[in-house]
Structure 1
Amino acid sequence: MSATTATTATTATTSMASLTGTPGTPGTPALSRSGTAAFLDRLGGVAAGPPSVAALHRLHAAFLEHVPYETLDIQLGRRTGIDPLVSVDRIVRLRRGGYCFQLNGAFAVLLRSLGYRVTLHQGGVHRPPKGRPAIDGSHLTLTVDALPDDPGGRWLVDVGLGDGFYDPLPLRQGRFVQGGILQARFRFELAASEVRAGAWQLRHPDGSGFTGMDFDPAPASMADFERRHAYFSTSPDTHFRQLCTVVRRHAAGSDVLRALTLTRRARTTVRRTLERRPDWFAVLDEVFGLPLGDLSEAERDLLWRRVVSQHEAFLVRQSRRCSA
């Protein structure tokens, strides 16, 4: 471990002490009052209020608007953990994002700290073009139930899908449309999964990063995702390593950065290539809210070299397809 990494880890551990409060349920981390306030401030100062359907929608939207899906540390070969409190510190103090294990893990801590009943579930995401349904622990998703104004209902909650749903979905079979004339239109469908009896399948025909997700209704724990996280963080064969991806879902649609290509999907879709290093880092800061103050100059150089290389490889593939 480098001196810089050791210092960061020590600071993170110290910060956790101010975030941790009395667990809401045995074995479940929770935040202190000040830790909860700091998290809500990170989400734009969203008003939490007591648990309700409307408050859950507000919190879900605020998280997506302010905390991006991002895999920058995987690109850099940085080993990060998925302990929920470490993920909270990453999001609140370092002003970073993460991927499903980190984002949904941290969001579960916030919701539980606010009095919500949250359950973790093992899932699997189908990625285009040939992704197949699976429940293999490659995705962490959440459900919330027992809301005072919807005591018999259950809601699918997921802030770790990238360009997924903006508002929580009621966990019942059916089709749902989010967006409209002035925003990007996202269609979703919840149905019974064919992978496992009693499991659910989320279908997302308009998704660019994923087209569906199956999940098991049985409760899971963060330990169930450690093996997959270790693989995703280190293997050169995963899409997390092969393509740098940053996504921010917002009310109008989504912003997606893949290598050097920035795509803004709203009422219309606009793409541009960020060919200059200052422009690329400025977009991370100004569009995705990632100032990256925790990265050294050497790490920024390495990150820039990797995304340039990925973009050049994309151009080669595109040229071969055109000439075929």
Structure 2
Amino acid sequence: MNNTCDSISPQVQAYLDRIGYEGPIDGSAEVLAALQECHLHTVPYENLDILNRTPLSLEREALYDKIVMRHRGGYCFELNALFGWLLRELGYTVTDFVARFWRDETDTPPKRRHHVLQVEAEGQLYLCDAGVGGIVPRRPIRMIEQVEHPQGEECYKLERDAEFGWMLLELHRGQWRRLYSFTEEPQLPKDFLMASFWCEHAPDSIFTKEAMLAMRTREGRNTVAGQEFRIFSGKDVHCFTPQTPEAYDEALLTYFGIPLASR
């Protein structure tokens, strides 16, 4: 891995501007963490294209146009694919894995329908993920078993499961519970096509039911479930339902930075 990035292409610089990152580019673990945190605070998790029956593309050029140029978001197969591209352009060694998402799953073991990244920084391996709508690590998790990672009011750790490989756990009300699991079989971009197609089209896919949006903020997080917006700030939450399509679009711009013209 390169320790420095001497020249940044205009495309990469536009991506860094999109996520509001203005720091150094030195291949360090600290920069990696800052990039992931910036991404989570600026690029929303959203399934609006699926609901509008706009076909998804996992091609890098299409993802770049959607996320960087049109200020949209996406879901894991889109967000982590493009974030992985950015990290590679900045000199990091990135490996793509497919994961089983356990949180709130009633049909266990769950199917493989999540995309995660393993990133090498300063000789260490980290789990990176910018593609979950729920609460997940805001900073990379070092891939060592049973090491607790407090992050604000949240706490995470990785353990090994004999059947499912790496298991990311979250501390929830004093108990450790499964978040997602993955094995160390590297995936090619084409390996995510079938899982993404299922999420986009299957009748029992959660992504086809109603609008799901989420984005971290400095104060908390903003979410949408169906028509209801929920704005979390500290321990307070403000819920409201826009009464017109115009008000809905205005709320999308205000709380998620999604302009109407980009959809």
**What TM-score, normalized by structure 2, do the two folds share?**
0.88
Deviation at 1:262, TM superposition (A): 2.1
Question: Is the radius of gyration larger for structure 1 or structure 2?
Answer: 1
Shift of the 205–77 alpha-carbon distance from structure 1 to 2, 3 Å rule, reads farther
The runs of at least 4 consecutive aligned structure 1 residues that moved more than 6 Å come to: none
Give the match for residue 54 of structure 1: 30
Check conservation: 1:204, 1:212, Cα contact below 8 A. Answer: yes
Is residue 2:58 matched to residue 1:76? no
User: 1:171 aligned to 143, 147, 163, which one?
Assistant: 143
C-alpha separation between the residues in 2 aligned to 1:63 and 1:170?
Answer: 18
Check conservation: 2:71, 2:262, Cα contact below 8 A. Answer: no
Give the match for residue 158 of structure 1: 129
C-alpha separation between the residues in 2 aligned to 1:293 and 1:254?
Answer: 24
Give the match for residue 255 of structure 1: 222
User: 2:198 aligned to 223, 231, 237, which one?
Assistant: 231
Deviation at 1:127, TM superposition (A): 3.5
Check conservation: 1:48, 1:55, Cα contact below 8 A. Answer: yes
Tell me the secondary structure at the aligned position of residue 121 of structure 1.
strand
Check conservation: 1:96, 1:292, Cα contact below 8 A. Answer: no
Deviation at 1:59, TM superposition (A): 0.6
Deviation at 1:271, TM superposition (A): 3.8
Check conservation: 1:42, 1:66, Cα contact below 8 A. Answer: yes
Structural mapping, 1:40-51, within 5 Å: 40-51=16-27
Residue type at the aligned position of 1:276: Q
C-alpha separation between the residues in 1 aligned to 2:15 and 2:185?
Answer: 28
C-alpha separation between the residues in 2 aligned to 1:195 and 1:76?
Answer: 38
C-alpha separation between the residues in 2 aligned to 1:269 and 1:223?
Answer: 42
Deviation at 1:32, TM superposition (A): 7.0
CA-to-partner distance for each residue in 1:139-167, whole Å, 9 max, x for gaps?
Answer: 1100111x2xx32x111100001221111
Is residue 2:261 matched to residue 1:286? no
Residue type at the aligned position of 2:27: P
C-alpha separation between the residues in 1 aligned to 2:181 and 2:130?
Answer: 15
Superposition CA RMSD, Å: 2.3
Tell me the secondary structure at the aligned position of residue 138 of structure 1.
strand
In the alignment, structure 1 segments of 5+ residues that lack a partner are 1-23, 25-30, 180-184, 296-324
User: 2:84 aligned to 108, 120, 124, which one?
Assistant: 108
Check conservation: 1:254, 1:266, Cα contact below 8 A. Answer: yes
Deviation at 1:112, TM superposition (A): 0.4
Residue type at the aligned position of 1:175: E
Structural mapping, 1:170-319, within 5 Å: 170-173=142-145, 174-179=147-152, 185-196=153-164, 199-206=165-172, 212-277=179-244, 278-295=246-263
C-alpha separation between the residues in 1 aligned to 2:214 and 2:71?
Answer: 15
Deviation at 1:205, TM superposition (A): 4.7
Give the match for residue 4 of structure 2: none
Tell me the secondary structure at the aligned position of residue 119 of structure 1.
strand
Shift of the 171–267 alpha-carbon distance from structure 1 to 2, 3 Å rule, reads same
Shift of the 167–248 alpha-carbon distance from structure 1 to 2, 3 Å rule, reads same
Is residue 2:74 matched to residue 1:98? yes
C-alpha separation between the residues in 1 aligned to 2:194 and 2:95?
Answer: 20
C-alpha separation between the residues in 1 aligned to 2:58 and 2:217?
Answer: 25
Tell me the secondary structure at the aligned position of residue 237 of structure 1.
coil
Give the match for residue 9 of structure 2: 33
Deviation at 1:265, TM superposition (A): 3.2
Give the match for residue 140 of structure 1: 115
Q: Please, which moves more after superposition, 106-115 or 218-227? A: 218-227
C-alpha separation between the residues in 2 aligned to 1:166 and 1:90?
Answer: 23
Identity %: 26
Deviation at 1:168, TM superposition (A): 0.8
C-alpha separation between the residues in 2 aligned to 1:177 and 1:219?
Answer: 28
CA-to-partner distance for each residue in 1:94-147, whole Å, 9 max, x for gaps?
Answer: 11100001000000100000101111001111241525344x4311100111x2
Tell me the secondary structure at the aligned position of residue 77 of structure 1.
coil
Residue type at the aligned position of 2:148: R
Check conservation: 1:121, 1:217, Cα contact below 8 A. Answer: yes
C-alpha separation between the residues in 1 aligned to 2:105 and 2:75?
Answer: 21
- Of Structure 1 and Structure 2, the greater helix share is in 1
